[in-house]
Amino acid sequence: MKAVATIIAMICVLQNAYAQQRWLVDSTRTRKDTIVLREVEVTDHHDSPFLITRVADVEAGAIYAAKKTERIKLENVIANLATNNTRQSLATVAGLNIWESDAAGLQLGIGGRGLNPNRTSNFSTRQNGYDISADPLGYPESYYVPPMMALDRIDIVRGAGALRYGTQFGGVVNFVMKEGSRDKPLAADATVSAGSFGFAGAFARLGGTVHSSNYVALYQFRKADGWRPNSDFHQHLAYAAFTTNISAQVRIRADYTFMTYLAHQPGGLTDRMFETDPSQSVRARNWFNVNWNLASLTLDWFASESTSVRSMFFGNLSSRQALGNLDRINTVDMGGPRTMIDGTFHNIGNETTIQHDVEVGGLPWSLLAGIRLFHGTTTQQQGDASGGSGPDFAFTNPQQLEGSSYTYPNDNVAGFAEALVSITPQLRLVPGVRLEHITTRADGYYALRVKDFAGNLIVDSLIYEQQRRSRTIALFGLGASFRIDDDAIEIYANATQNYRSITFNDLRINNPNLTIDPNITDERGYTLDLGIRGSTLSILNWDASAFYLRYNDKIGEILRSDQAPLYLPYRYRTNIADAYTAGIEAMTELDVSTACGISSSLPDIHWIVNGSLLQGRYLSSEDPSIDGNAIEYVPSYVIRSGINVRHGSARLSFLWSFVGQQFTDATNAVYTASAVSGVVPAYNVADLTVGYSLDIFTIDVSLNNIFGASYFTRRADSYPGPGIIPAEPRSIFMSVKAGL
């Protein structure tokens, strides 16, 4: 604390000295009896004086009171948005573990509290409130991430979000897109970007309000050669939304998203390869192709001043194809047929909520109830494909695949209810319940192929199977909050049950680096949160909390070896043991200028520090080599600190991130020859962004990884690996925006 106080004092002294010097200079240019009044430019670039806030207690058909929430307004973020730089965009959220699998942010990989960051699969990932993942039940991975340039805000709710948004341990991440201009019939902006390693991008948007209707449409294109060989990509994305009030009580909103990209994947590296030259590539024939189509239709009915109904229909018609060599990265690609995994996702659903606000004893209460209906069908096929080097996404033998062919229908019916109950003006309770009925099915075949020690195929047959699992789960939760000091400080607590169903689609993928236990079962557990948050004199915004996340039959990965004679290592995913993750998360944001009493004509400086201290352990394992081990993907610390400076038309952001060492499997292996398991060493990385606005033009320049750190955040067991996926080295990007 002394060090922090010293730094603040030094900043204040420097700014006050600068202010005094400015006054002396101005006064010498006038007569002694003249008072100089400087021009003051008022700009509204914050809804609040802070860069990060929390979500309102009751909003848009959901109750957020007494829960761990964060809201990031993208207009306040000074970052490299052209490449969806997650490290910068989510810098103010404490404790996030971020996978940097690609340099352009084509996929989002965030986790927290010991949850696997892989394609954000442990969060309910949403856009404008509806699902955007491949299949929330059967395959909850997100191959699509909205462009940061198009976002209004990002809302994050931790584990207690399970009661409103469904069965998961992480919570929810909701990307909310910008609407069209509210005060013009037509407003438009366009951005062109260029940067290191052949990066080029274009973004255009137009929108406005005509009578009672609002519209917005945008298009984005991005391409790059990549910093490693065989890492080029190109992406196209389009989005359109239309909102109209058909009466004083009824509003309808529709939107559609299309995204496609083709990425050349350079593959992973072994530890020795990474130490020798992290820029090398030993896979030239690996490709990844994604086509994503999302649509939603939302009806809002404001039945009265106290009662509202929201019904949201949503659909997903998408696909992805992975093509290449899945053999261990320490083996040479000698050519020949490649493996292709082809997946399609057809989902449709509806969420309808009713909210009723009343006063009981002069105190506000809110009652919320809703239902979710969902049906999704995932198809997954694996087989041999072209032996060439290009993106030829076609099976060689489509009638009888060498791997597997399955259909996975999934159904979900859920009902949920929560209430915000005011006991006193300061004390509020938030009880909640969710009842889920989930049915997951698998129907198809897999190929059983056995070779002798000489490599000769001695068994080649197809095994047909059908599986069905139905379960009904009840989840309960209770939150409480107590506000003190004229509501400037709030103590909050929450206890919520969590649940995560298994996914069938992983079971029959033939991967030499990963095997799935055919008897794997669902996870159950609960999350406890206790925190205190508030703002002090409008100069300090803070949130500090402790959490305990308990898993029963936690699904994880252990290290095993093939049979003789090679004994090659691979990961085995199964229910390992009961486990827990516990830690402390804290975020502070200081408005330095206001704290120092600085004139508004001088820079507006915000200093941000957030971090987490974590511990995760396996308990009661039948395998004594696992009992007491650290949980994978639990860095002992995650700390990010930086400053945001705005002065007139200029702005600057500096961010420094520190992430501790973490294991990638439950055996806590430090090193393996195949590199799919082992430690992810501690690393730190710094980013700098500067910008300037002139009339209708805005220029932003980002220097990422400014100190040239050589590090990695992920060991992949399949695509885009297998092996170590190196993070991008020092790079620079520039964007020029024109708005009308």
Q: For 15-29, what is each residue's pLDDT tens digit?
A: 444 444 443 334 333
For residue range 501-510, what is the model confidence (pLDDT) as tens digits?
877 666 666 7
For residue range 160-216, what is the model confidence (pLDDT) as tens digits?
988 999 888 999 999 999 999 999 999 999 999 999 999 999 999 999 999 999 999
Q: How far is it, in rounded angstroms, from Cα 518 to Cα 572?
A: 11
Report H helices in 103-201: 162-165
Q: Which long-range contacts (CB under 8 A, 24 or more apart) does 19-28 make?
A: 19/598, 19/599, 19/602, 22/601, 22/602
- pLDDT for residue 162: 87
Span 540-551, average pLDDT: 95
Rounded to the nearest integer, the mean pLDDT of the chain is 88
Is residue 518 scored above 80 in pLDDT? no
pTM over 0.85: yes
Among candidate residues 724, 720, 665, the one with its CA nearest the CA of residue 341: 720
Tokens of 305: 């001043």
Cβ neighbours of residue 564 under 8 Å, at least 6 residues apart? none
Under a CB-based contact definition with an 8 Å cutoff, are residues 118 and 664 in contact?
Answer: no
For residue range 393-419, what is the model confidence (pLDDT) as tens digits?
999 999 989 899 999 999 999 999 999
Q: How far is it, in rounded angstroms, from Cα 133 to Cα 117?
A: 14
- pLDDT for residue 34: 33
Tokens of 501: 């169903």
Name the pairing type of β-strands 569-591 and 338-360: unpaired
Name the pairing type of β-strands 199-210 and 187-195: antiparallel
Span 563-571, average pLDDT: 60
Is residue 382 scored above 90 in pLDDT? yes
Residue 548: count of CB within 10 angstroms of its CB:
15
Cα–Cα distances in angstroms (integers) from residue 225 to residues 81, 193, 194, 230, 700, in the given order: 19, 14, 12, 8, 22
Tokens of 502: 């298994």
Burial of 88 from C-beta contacts in 10 A (0-12 / 13-18 / 19+): buried
Is residue 39 scored above 60 in pLDDT? no
For residue range 131-169, what is the model confidence (pLDDT) as tens digits?
999 988 878 888 999 999 999 999 999 989 889 998 889
For a pLDDT cut of 70, what percent of the chain falls above it? 89
CATH 2.40.170.20 residue ranges in the chain? 52-739
- pLDDT for residue 505: 60
Q: Which long-range contacts (CB under 8 A, 24 or more apart) does 595-598 make?
A: 595/8, 595/12, 595/539, 595/540, 596/8, 596/11, 596/12, 596/15, 596/16, 597/16, 598/12, 598/15, 598/16, 598/19
Span 614-640, average pLDDT: 90
Cα–Cα distances in angstroms (integers) from residue 143 to residues 112, 120, 176, 231, 737, in the given order: 19, 9, 17, 17, 27
- pLDDT for residue 562: 63
- Find the radius of gyration of the CA atoms of the chain: 27
- pLDDT for residue 453: 61
Among candidate residues 239, 251, 261, the one with its CA nearest the CA of residue 178: 239
Choose which CATH entry (3.50.50.60, 2.30.30.230, 2.70.70.10, 2.40.170.20) describes domain 52-739: 2.40.170.20
For residue range 644-697, what is the model confidence (pLDDT) as tens digits?
999 999 999 999 999 999 999 988 999 998 899 999 999 999 999 999 999 999
Total count of residues recorded for the chain? 740
Under a CB-based contact definition with an 8 Å cutoff, are residues 653 and 643 in contact?
Answer: yes
